[in-house]
């Protein structure tokens, strides 16, 4: 299959990630079919997509007409087999659970057309493992998006042991075509590239919070105004070149033995999660906001992200 042969994309799982990925392909000109095991999730997804397109329009990313055309390219289909029957590419964005993904891939392998590429948006699992029971290893690939996927540019493209060059290249090329920033990951390792880096940062932030070194608000404020401010424009390796490797090396030699290398999340954090404080989903996490306040956080986040996207990547 060539890039120009691709017409239909099916997305399985219409949650936080699935609905945003659907929007990206619809804006890129593809017919998108969205499936979810829960019918209400499909309704919620379409409401979110409409709202996200409104924010895109309000920020000058697309015209109202382009948004309307893109919205019209998305259909929902609660029946899994129906939803993938014409798919050139299927992207799964269901729960992060190897057994669920494995069962889904086995089923997709059995019902999808022979040419269909099967992609996963798993955040940490290895496609060579949960996808090992399908008969189309060459057409399986991991494409790991970042939340919110309709805005954050980078998508990691990770090959499984049997992924063909053609499949990996097609995924890379189609992501470029829909204005994402695909990154080839050369080795299939758990967490890939970005979650390993993100989790190293998050682990230290959680431990600093538990130790009371600063409040959650101040930890976020400090990171946003320094490391985060820089990282949007220059990566960590260029940052260390610009800062001087002698200095970075000396700081690393002093600090590496002192910063967290814990193999489990800190106790207070786990207590928070087990107590049902999951963040925006339940209203309370590190922050305790009303529904309106969470909505305002998202609106502000998206506005700032879109501004950055425009400055850095969007033609």
Which residues have a catalytic role annotated?
Answer: 123, 144, 156, 195
d(CA 151, CA 81): 29
Task: Find the shortest distance in angstroms from Cβ 94 to ligand NAD.
Answer: 4
CB-nearer residue toward ligand NAD: 87 or 93: 93
d(CA 116, CA 93): 17
Please give the C-alpha separations between residue 179 and each of 1, 2, 26, 144, 246, in angstroms, as whole numbers. 21, 18, 12, 15, 38
Asked whether 30 and 7 are in contact (CB, 8 A), the reply is: yes
Residue 188: what are its φ and ψ, rounded to 5°? -80, 100
d(CA 29, CA 237): 36
d(CA 304, CA 102): 37
100 membership: H or E segment, kind and range: helix 98-111
Binding footprint of ligand NAD on the chain (CB under 6 A) = 12-18, 35-38, 41, 93-96, 100, 104, 121-123, 145-147
**CB contact burial 249-286 (16+ within 10 A = b; e otherwise):** eeeeeeeeeeeeeeeebbeebeebeeeebeebeebebb
Residue 155: what are its φ and ψ, rounded to 5°? -135, 125
Task: Find the shortest distance in angstroms from Cβ 52 to ligand NAD.
Answer: 14
CB-nearer residue toward ligand NAD: 50 or 239: 50
Asked whether 159 and 168 are in contact (CB, 8 A), the reply is: yes
Please give the C-alpha separations between residue 13 and each of 36, 152, 217, 288, in angstroms, as whole numbers. 5, 19, 33, 28
CB-nearer residue toward ligand NAD: 166 or 304: 304
CB-nearer residue toward ligand NAD: 139 or 144: 144
CB-nearer residue toward ligand NAD: 94 or 141: 94
Which residue's Cβ lies closest to ligand NAD?
A: 15
Structure letter (DSSP) for residue 282:
T
Q: Which residues contact 131 (CB under 8 A, 6 or more apart)?
A: 101, 102, 105, 118, 120, 137, 140, 160
CB-nearer residue toward ligand NAD: 39 or 243: 39
Task: Find the shortest distance in angstroms from Cβ 290 to ligand NAD.
Answer: 21
| Beta-bridge partner residues of 143 | 157
Q: Which two tokens stand for residue 138?
A: 């060459």
């Amino acid at each position: 299959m060539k890039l120009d042969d691709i017409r239909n994309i099916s997305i399985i799982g219409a949650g936080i990630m699935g609905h945003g990925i659907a929007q990206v392909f619809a804006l890129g000109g593809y017919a998108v079919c969205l499936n979810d095991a829960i019918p209400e999730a499909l309704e919620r997804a379409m409401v979110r997509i409409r709202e996200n397109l409104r924010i895109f329009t309000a920020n000058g990313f697309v015209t109202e007409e382009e948004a309307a055309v893109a919205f019209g390219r998305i259909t929902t289909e609660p029946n899994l087999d129906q939803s993938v029957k014409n798919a050139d590419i299927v992207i799964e964005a269901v729960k992060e659970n190897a057994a669920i993904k494995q069962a889904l891939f086995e089923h997709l392998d059995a019902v999808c057309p022979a040419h269909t590429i099967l992609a996963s948006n798993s955040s940490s699992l290895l496609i060579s493992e949960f996808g090992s029971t399908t008969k189309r290893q060459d057409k399986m690939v991991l494409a790991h998006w970042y939340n919110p996927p309709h805005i954050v540019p980078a998508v990691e493209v990770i090959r499984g042991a049997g992924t063909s060059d053609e499949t990996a290249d097609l995924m890379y090329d189609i992501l470029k075509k829909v204005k994402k920033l695909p990154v080839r990951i050369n080795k299939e390792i758990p967490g890939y590239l970005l979650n390993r880096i993100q989790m190293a940062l998050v682990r230290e932030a959680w431990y600093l919070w538990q130790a009371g070194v600063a409040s959650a608000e101040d930890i976020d404020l400090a990171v946003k105004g320094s490391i985060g401010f820089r990282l949007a424009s220059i990566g960590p390796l260029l940052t260390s070149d610009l800062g001087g490797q002698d200095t970075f090396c000396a700081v690393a030699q002093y600090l590496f033995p002192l910063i967290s290398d814990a193999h489990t999340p800190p106790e207070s954090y786990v207590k928070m999660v087990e107590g049902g404080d999951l963040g925006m989903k339940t209203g309370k996490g590190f922050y305790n906001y009303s529904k309106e306040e969470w909505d305002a956080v998202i609106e502000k986040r998206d506005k700032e992200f879109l501004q950055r996207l425009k400055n850095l990547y969007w033609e």
